[in-house]
C-alpha cells in the first residue's frame, strides 16, 4: 500500500496488546517492508545502528521504545516525519526539539477515557461500600460484619466532577443509572456540552466540594491546577462524603489530603499520587478509610486495542496526507507529565 | 388517623435508619397512641408482659424484634393482624402457624434490589480490575505495579445473569453503559420482560456459563436450585472470566467453587456463602483471585429508608383495608432462609 520506510519498535507484549488478532495483519498491510524491532534490545547500541541503516519516516512506538535522543544524534532521526506512540506521555521518547521542528507525534488520545471513567465508578462504589476495608479484613483478619456496617449507595447522591474533559464525559452515562444530580467545575467547558448531558455547572471549586456527596478529581495537570485542591475544599465535602482521584496527583495538596485522611471521616479512593510509584512507606498505606490502587486507571490490558485502532486510523491518514487525531503539539507536550 | 393498637419494636438504630427525618413523624401520624418498644429489652420477660398489656393488631418490627413465639403463647398474639417487618427473612420473628392462620406479614420486598445490583456491578468491576488484590497489596505489602498488570474492562463484554428477578432487572440498566451483550438463564421469566430490556435468553445453564465472560449468580434459593451450579459450569466460563455471587450461597456447589478458585484462573467475587458468617478459617480467605465481602449486598444503610417508605405505604393500605405489597405467603415463607 505504501513504500514508506517504517520502524515498528515494540515488545512482544505491546504488539500483542495494542494490535491483537487481525489488527497486526492490518498494520503489516499498511506498512509493507516495515522493519520490526523486538524490544527490549539485547544490545542498546543497536538502536543507533538501526537508525543509521534505516532512515525511517514513520515510527510505531510504546513504553519500551528507546528514546529518540541520547546516543542518537539529531541527524540520525532527520528522516522521521511521524511518531505514532501507542501510550500516553511522549516526553521520555520524543525530545521537545523534534516537536518544535514539526515532527507529527500522536498518542492514545481519548481512547483511554472510558476505562478511566470505569475505574472512577468502581472507586466511588468501593469507597461508599468500604469494600477495600472489608476485602482486607475478610482476607487477612478472618472478619465478618458485626452489627450494621456503615455502607452507602450511589443512588440519589450528588456527584461533583472537577474537570469536564473526555473522562468526565464518559463517566456521566455510567453515573446516570444511579443519580441525576451531577455537577462539574470546569471553567472553560461550553454550556452546550453540559446541557446535552444534563450536568449542572458549579461556579467555583468551593461550591463543587461543599455541595457534592462524592467528588471525583479529573482536572488537567496544568500549572494553574497545581495543588488547587486544598485542605479547605476537602474539609467542605458533606459528612459521609467521598473523594476519588483518578486524574493527576499534583492537582491535590497531598499533605492536606493526608491530614484529612488520617482523621478517618472522609472516604478516599486514590489511583494517582504526586509521587509515583507511591513510596513503600507512604503514610496513606494502612489507613482503613483509604482505597489505594497503583495507577491502574486506563487503559485496561484488554482495551489497549482501542489505542491500536486509533493508530491504524492515524497511519492510514498519514499515508494519504490527511491529518491525524490526538496530535501532540508544544502546548500539550509541555503540559504532559 | 386510626385507633388501631400498634407496637413499634425497633432499636434506636433501626428506627433512625428505616424512618429517617420526617418519616418517623409520618409513622407517628399514621399510628397515634402506638406503643414504642426500645430494643434490645433490658429484661427479656418484658416482651411477654407487653403483649398481655397491649393486645396489638399491628407490629412494626426488624432484626432486633424478639420472636412471636418462645415465651409468648399463641394466645398472647391472637390480636395480631399485620406484622410489618422492615428487613428480609421473617422466619426468626414469625412462626409458620401465624402465616398459616392468615396473619398478614410483609418484608422489605424489592426495595433492596437496586443496592444489591449496585454491589454486583462493583464486584464485577473489582474482579475484572483485580482491585481486591491491589488494595491488599498496596496496604499491606508496600506494593506498586510492575510491568503490565492484568486488568480488564467491562466494555463490550458478555454478561450472563443466572436468574432474572428484581435484582437482575435493576442490574441491566447499570450494565448498559458498558455492554449490550447481556443474557440470562431464567426458565420461567416471560419473553416480553426480556425483550423490553434487550436481554437475550440462554436456553440452558450450560449455555449461559460457556458463552458469558462474566456470570452473575442471582438465582433464587429454591430446593430445585440447591447446588445447581456445578464444577462443570464454573470451568466452562471462557478464559479471563469472572464469577460473581450476590444471590445465595447454597445455589453453588461451594466445594467445587473452592477447587476452581484455588487454581487461580477464574476471577471470583463473593458476597454470600453457604455458611454465614463465613468461618474464620474458610479456605477462600487469602486466595488472591477471590474478592470477599461479608454479605453487604443490600440494602446499604442509607437506603434502608426505601424499606421504611414501603412500610409506610403498606401501613396506610392496611388502615384503609387495602392490600399490601411484598406479602409473605406460605410459599415464600418456606423458601426464605
Q: Which residues contact A269 (CB under 8 A, 6 or more apart)?
A: A123, A124, A126, A127, A132, A242, A243, A244, A245, A290, A291, A292, A293
Average pLDDT over residues B299-307: 96
Contact B31, B8 (CB under 8 A): yes
**Bridge partners (DSSP) listed for residue B105:** B83
Average pLDDT over residues B10-19: 97
**B253 in any annotated domain:** yes
A145 and A274 inside one domain: yes
Asked if B248 is an active-site residue, the reply is yes
Residue tagged active-site, from B129, B158, B200, B295: B295
What pLDDT, on the 0 to 100 scale, is given for residue A44? 85
pLDDT of B4 higher than 80: yes
Q: Nearest CA to CA, how far is B333 from chain A (Å)?
A: 24
ipTM value > 0.90: yes
Alpha-carbon gap, residue B171 to B33, rounded angstroms: 42
A271 and A328 inside one domain: no
pLDDT of B1 higher than 60: no
Compare all CA atoms of chain A with the CA of B126 and give the residue at the minimum distance. Answer: A122
What pLDDT, on the 0 to 100 scale, is given for residue B205? 98
Chain center to CA of A47: 28
Instruction: Locate A57 and state its grid cell.
Output: 519516516
B184 and B329 inside one domain: no
- Per CB-CB distance under 8 Å, the chain B contacts of A88 are none
A20 and chain B in contact, CB less than 8 A: no
Percentage of residues of chain B with pLDDT beyond 70: 99
Alpha-carbon gap, residue A290 to A283, rounded angstroms: 11
Q: Which of B293, B298, B299 to mutate to test the interface with A (most CBs of A within 10 A)?
A: B293
Asked if B217 is an active-site residue, the reply is no
Alpha-carbon gap, residue A21 to B52, rounded angstroms: 76
Percentage of residues of chain A with pLDDT beyond 70: 99
Q: What is the pLDDT of residues A128-176, one digit of tens each?
A: 999 999 999 999 999 999 877 899 999 999 999 999 999 999 999 999 9
Q: What is the pLDDT of residues A278-337, one digit of tens each?
A: 999 999 999 999 999 999 998 999 999 999 999 999 999 999 999 999 999 998 898 776
Give every strand in the sheet of B290-292, ordered side by side. B200-201, B181-185, B158-162, B214-217, B242-245, B267-270, B290-292
- Mean pLDDT for chain A? 96
Phi, psi (rounded to 5 degrees) for A129: -90, -5
Give every strand in the sheet of A158-162, ordered side by side. A200-201, A181-185, A158-162, A214-217, A242-245, A267-270, A290-292
Length of chain A: 337
Identify which of B128, B138, B140, B183 has the alpha carbon closest to the alpha carbon of residue B159. Answer: B183
A177 and chain B in contact, CB less than 8 A: yes
Expressed as residue numbers, the domain containing B98 is 6-108+301-335
Q: Nearest CA to CA, how far is B299 from chain A (Å)?
A: 8
A223 and A195 inside one domain: yes
Q: Pick the more confident residue, B150 or B334.
A: B150
Q: Is B193 helix (H, G, I), strand (E, B) or coil?
A: helix
Q: Which of A10, A138, A174, A294 to mutate to test the interface with B (most CBs of B within 10 A)?
A: A138
B167 and B54 inside one domain: no
* Half-sphere exposure of residue B146: CA atoms within 13 angstroms, side-chain side: 4
B11 and B39 inside one domain: yes
**B197 in any annotated domain:** yes
What pLDDT, on the 0 to 100 scale, is given for residue B194? 97
Identify which of B334, B331, B318 has the alpha carbon closest to the alpha carbon of residue B84. Answer: B318
**A58 in any annotated domain:** yes
Q: What is the CATH number of the domain that holds B230?
A: 3.40.50.720
Average pLDDT over residues B114-138: 98
Contact A135 B136 (CB under 8 A): yes
A101 and A188 inside one domain: no
What pLDDT, on the 0 to 100 scale, is given for residue A335? 78
Average pLDDT over residues B75-93: 95
What pLDDT, on the 0 to 100 scale, is given for residue A133? 97
Conformation bin of residue B37: beta by default, left when phi > 0, alpha when psi is -120 to 50: beta
A271 and A132 inside one domain: yes
Instruction: Locate A63 and state its grid cell.
Output: 513504553
As for how many domains chain B has, the answer is: 2
What pLDDT, on the 0 to 100 scale, is given for residue A337? 66
Identify which of A216, A207, A228 has the alpha carbon closest to the alpha carbon of residue A160. Answer: A216
Q: Which residues contact A5 (CB under 8 A, 6 or more apart)?
A: A33, A35, A54, A55, A56, A57, A58, A79
**B31 in any annotated domain:** yes
Q: Which of B128, B178, B300, B309 to mutate to test the interface with A (most CBs of A within 10 A)?
A: B300
Alpha-carbon gap, residue A75 to B49, rounded angstroms: 97
Strands B104-106 and B158-162, bridge-based pairing: unpaired
Confidence of residue B173 (pLDDT cuts 50, 70, 90): very high
Identify which of B114, B233, B245 has the alpha carbon closest to the alpha carbon of residue B174. Answer: B114
**B1 in any annotated domain:** no
Element (H, E) at A82: strand A82-85
Contact A221, A335 (CB under 8 A): yes
Element (H, E) at A119: helix A113-129
Instruction: Locate B172 and state its grid cell.
Output: 441491566
Contact B142 A281 (CB under 8 A): yes
A289 and chain B in contact, CB less than 8 A: no
Confidence of residue B282 (pLDDT cuts 50, 70, 90): very high
| DSSP letter string, B231-274 | HHHHHHSPTT-EEEE-S-GGGB-HHHHHHHHHHS-SEEEES--S
What pLDDT, on the 0 to 100 scale, is given for residue B2? 61
Handedness of CA A104, A110, A115, A120 (dihedral sign): positive
Contact B201, A204 (CB under 8 A): no
A157 and A287 inside one domain: yes
pLDDT of A19 higher than 90: yes
Q: Is A292 helix (H, G, I), strand (E, B) or coil?
A: strand
- Per CB-CB distance under 8 Å, the chain B contacts of A125 are 118, 121-122, 125
A91 and A41 inside one domain: yes
B327 and chain A in contact, CB less than 8 A: no
A147 and A285 inside one domain: yes
pLDDT of A1 higher than 80: no
Is the pTM higher than 0.80? The answer reads yes
**A1 in any annotated domain:** no
Which residues of A are marked as active site? 248, 276, 295
- Nearest CB among A138, A277, A300 relative to B293 is that of A138
**A80 in any annotated domain:** yes
Confidence of residue B26 (pLDDT cuts 50, 70, 90): very high
Confidence of residue B337 (pLDDT cuts 50, 70, 90): low
Alpha-carbon gap, residue B157 to B176, rounded angstroms: 11
- Nearest CB among B155, B177, B300 relative to A151 is that of B300
- Mean pLDDT for chain B? 96
Contact B126 A122 (CB under 8 A): yes
Alpha-carbon gap, residue A16 to A204, rounded angstroms: 45
- Per CB-CB distance under 8 Å, the chain A contacts of B121 are 125
B300 and chain A in contact, CB less than 8 A: yes
Element (H, E) at B8: strand B6-11
**A310 in any annotated domain:** yes
* CA angle (A26 as vertex; A25, A28 as ends), nearest 5: 65
Q: What is the pLDDT of residues A78-136, one digit of tens each?
A: 999 999 999 999 999 999 999 999 999 999 999 999 999 999 999 999 999 999 999 99
| DSSP letter string, A192-223 | HHHHHTT-EEPSSHHHHHHT-SEEEE-----G
Q: Which residues contact A209 (CB under 8 A, 6 or more apart)?
A: A160, A215, A229, A233, A234, A236, A237
B140 and B237 inside one domain: yes
A17 and chain B in contact, CB less than 8 A: yes
Average pLDDT over residues A176-184: 98
Contact A144 B301 (CB under 8 A): no
Q: How far apart are the first and last CA of chain B?
A: 36
Amino acid at each position: 500500500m505504501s513504500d514508506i520506510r517504517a520502524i515498528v519498535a515494540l515488545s512482544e507484549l505491546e504488539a500483542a496488546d495494542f494490535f491483537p488478532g487481525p489488527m497486526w495483519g492490518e498494520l503489516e498491510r499498511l506498512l509493507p517492508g516495515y522493519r520490526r524491532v523486538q524490544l527490549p534490545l539485547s544490545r542498546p547500541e543497536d538502536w543507533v545502528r538501526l537508525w543509521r541503516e534505516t532512515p525511517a519516516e514513520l515510527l510505531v512506538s510504546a513504553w519500551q521504545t528507546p528514546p529518540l535522543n541520547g546516543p542518537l544524534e539529531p541527524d540520525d532521526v532527520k528522516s522521521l516525519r511521524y511518531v505514532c506512540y501507542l501510550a500516553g506521555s511522549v516526553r521520555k521518547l520524543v525530545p521537545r526539539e523534534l516537536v518544535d521542528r514539526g515532527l507529527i507525534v500522536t498518542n492514545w488520545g481519548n481512547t483511554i477515557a472510558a476505562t478511566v471513567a470505569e475505574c472512577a465508578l468502581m472507586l466511588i462504589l468501593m469507597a461508599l461500600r468500604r469494600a477495600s476495608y472489608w476485602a482486607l479484613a475478610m482476607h487477612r483478619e478472618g472478619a465478618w460484619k458485626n452489627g450494621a456496617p456503615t455502607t452507602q449507595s450511589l443512588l440519589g447522591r450528588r456527584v461533583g466532577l472537577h474537570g469536564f474533559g473526555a473522562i468526565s464525559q464518559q463517566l456521566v452515562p455510567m453515573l446516570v443509572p444511579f443519580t441525576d444530580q451531577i455537577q462539574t467545575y470546569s471553567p472553560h467547558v461550553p454550556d452546550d456540552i453540559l446541557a446535552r448531558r444534563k450536568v449542572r455547572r458549579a461556579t467555583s471549586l468551593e461550591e463543587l466540594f461543599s455541595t457534592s456527596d462524592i467528588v471525583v478529581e479529573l482536572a488537567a495537570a496544568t500549572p494553574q491546577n497545581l495543588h488547587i485542591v486544598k485542605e479547605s475544599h476537602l474539609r467542605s465535602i458533606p459528612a459521609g462524603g467521598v473523594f476519588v482521584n483518578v486524574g493527576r496527583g499534583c492537582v491535590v495538596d497531598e499533605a492536606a489530603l493526608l491530614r484529612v485522611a488520617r482523621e478517618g471521616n472522609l472516604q478516599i479512593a486514590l489511583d494517582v499520587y504526586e509521587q509515583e510509584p507511591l513510596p513503600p512507606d507512604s503514610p496513606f498505606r494502612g489507613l482503613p478509610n483509604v482505597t489505594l490502587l497503583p495507577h491502574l486507571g486506563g487503559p485496561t490490558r484488554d482495551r489497549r486495542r482501542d489505542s491500536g485502532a486509533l493508530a491504524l486510523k492515524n497511519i492510514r491518514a498519514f499515508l494519504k496526507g490527511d491529518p491525524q487525531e490526538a496530535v501532540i503539539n508544544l502546548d500539550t507536550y509541555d503540559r504532559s507529565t
